[in-house]
């Protein structure tokens, strides 16, 4: 911040105002990030509960052998996708020229 104040050659009043603005919005953003993290955790827990219920219902319609085979397939699929997590898909973009 001090670098910005110096580079912009702010007056003392401008510098004080800038610090106050940054502090005000910084606190709001910190609060918002904390709230988002709480919500994210709640969403993960809800998704886990839903998946557990789904799993139980599927288990009820399959034989033990079928269910074990399904779990094995899912683990294999999960580990194959796990290595791709966070990677952006490669799309070919067409560049449109304006006429």
Residue 24 sits at φ, ψ, to 5 deg, of -60, -50
68, 55 in Cβ contact below 8 A?
no
Query: Is the pTM higher than 0.85?
Result: no
Q: How many CB atoms lie within 10 A of CB 70?
A: 14
22, 1 in Cβ contact below 8 A?
yes
pLDDT tens digit at each of 99 positions of the chain: 899 999 999 999 999 999 999 999 999 999 899 989 989 988 889 999 999 999 999 999 999 999 999 999 989 888 887 776 556 555 554 555 444
What is the pLDDT at residue 80?
Answer: 81
39, 27 in Cβ contact below 8 A?
no
């Amino acid at each position: 911040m001090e670098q910005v104040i110096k580079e912009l050659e702010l007056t003392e009043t401008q510098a004080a105002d800038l610090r106050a603005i940054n502090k005000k919005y910084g606190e709001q953003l910190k609060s918002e990030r904390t709230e988002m993290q709480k919500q994210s955790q709640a969403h993960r827990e809800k998704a886990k509960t839903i998946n557990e219920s789904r799993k139980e219902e599927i288990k009820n319609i399959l034989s033990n052998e079928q269910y074990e085979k399904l779990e094995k397939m899912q683990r294999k699929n999960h580990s194959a996708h796990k290595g791709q997590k966070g990677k952006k898909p490669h799309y070919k973009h067409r560049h449109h020229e304006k006429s």
